[in-house]
Amino acid sequence: MLLAIITISLMAGLFGLILGYAAIRFKVEGNPIVDQIDALLPQTQCGQCTYPGCRPYAEAIANGEAPINQCPPGGQATIVALADLLDTEVLELNAEHGEHVEVPLIAVIDEQICIGCTLCIQACPVDAILGSAKHMHTVIADECTGCKLCLPPCPVDCIDMIPIEQTIDDWKWTLPKPVEPGSSWSSADA
């Protein structure tokens, strides 16, 4: 009888150690679906979705608190990817949150008009605007996400949104339409 109690106690202790090690070694931080949703979002941190950034919006989607169509920078492609990931229906972009622009924009400050009020600096969610009070401001073009959140607070309208010039690195070729079978041109003509 004593041998059985010792054997069961040793087995319980061994299994407890194994479970304790497994709990530490294979611990999952947070919700993995939130990470997958966050990876699909454009990471502009613009707040147009009514959430303070992409991660909080991803958490709201995962918890069922927000629909998948509130991200204008991501556009329809992001909505389709989110619907595919979550196995839900594809929705149209909610125009209430803004519009998707195909050509990315960046903010440019007319430094001759800027009065240095710092309101645009406070509005920028990614700290792409540099300047100080009563001095001109400028935009770090590589950091600007084109969210347009700096436009409304500017009292002198010295900020313009301009399209980013395409370079060989970001230029996209539009594919020609496929040739319909039975049309006048075929691969035999080539």
Q: How far is CA 141 from each of CA 51, 83, 84, rounded to the nearest angstrom? A: 24, 32, 33
Residue written as tokens 């992409």?
A: 54
* Nearby residues of 55 by Cβ (< 8 Å), 6 or more positions away: 34, 38
Residue 126: which CATH number? Answer: 3.30.70.20
148 residue type, one letter: K
Q: Is residue 3 part of a domain?
A: no
What's the structural domain count of the chain? 2
Q: Say if residue 105 is in the same domain as residue 93.
A: no
42 belongs to a structural domain: yes
Please name every residue paired with 109 in a beta bridge, in sequence order, or none if there are none. Answer: 159
In-domain check, residue 120: yes
Higher pLDDT, 186 or 167: 167
* DSSP 8-class letter at 97: G
- The Cα–Cα gap between 130 and 121 comes to 7
CATH code for the domain in which residue 57 is found: 1.10.15.40
Whether 145 maps to a domain, the answer reads yes
Question: Is position 149 within any domain?
Answer: yes
Q: How far is CA 120 from CA 28, 101, 154, in A?
A: 39, 21, 6
pLDDT attached to residue 167: 74
Q: Which of 29-43, 128-142, 159-173 has the lowest mean pLDDT?
A: 159-173
Do 109 and 70 lie in a common domain? no
Whether the pLDDT of residue 185 is over 70: the answer is no
Domain that holds residue 53: 32-97
Whole-number pLDDT of residue 14: 95
pLDDT of residue 184: 57
Residue 189 is assigned to a structural domain of this protein: no
Show the tokens assigned to 29: 């931080």
32-40 helix and 54-62 helix, angle to the nearest 10 degrees:
130
Is 2 within a domain? no
Residue 190 pLDDT exceeds 60:
no
Among the ranges given (3-12, 44-53, 168-177), the one the predictor scored with the smallest mean pLDDT: 168-177
Tell me if 157 sits within 8 A of 117, measured CB to CB: no
Q: How much is the pLDDT for 105?
A: 86
In a domain, 154, yes or no: yes
118 and 87 in a common domain: no
Nearest to residue 144, comparing CAs of 125, 165, 172, 122? 125
Q: Buried b vs exposed e over 112-133: b needs ≥16 C-beta within 10 Å? A: eebeebbbbbebbbbebbebee
What pLDDT, in 10s, does the model give residues 81-134? 999 999 999 999 888 877 777 778 889 999 889 999 999 999 888 889 998 888
Q: What integer pLDDT is reported at residue 179 of this predicted model? A: 66
Give the pLDDT of residue 147.
84
Question: Higher-confidence residue: 166 or 170?
Answer: 166
Task: Say whether both 61 and 112 belong to one domain.
Answer: no
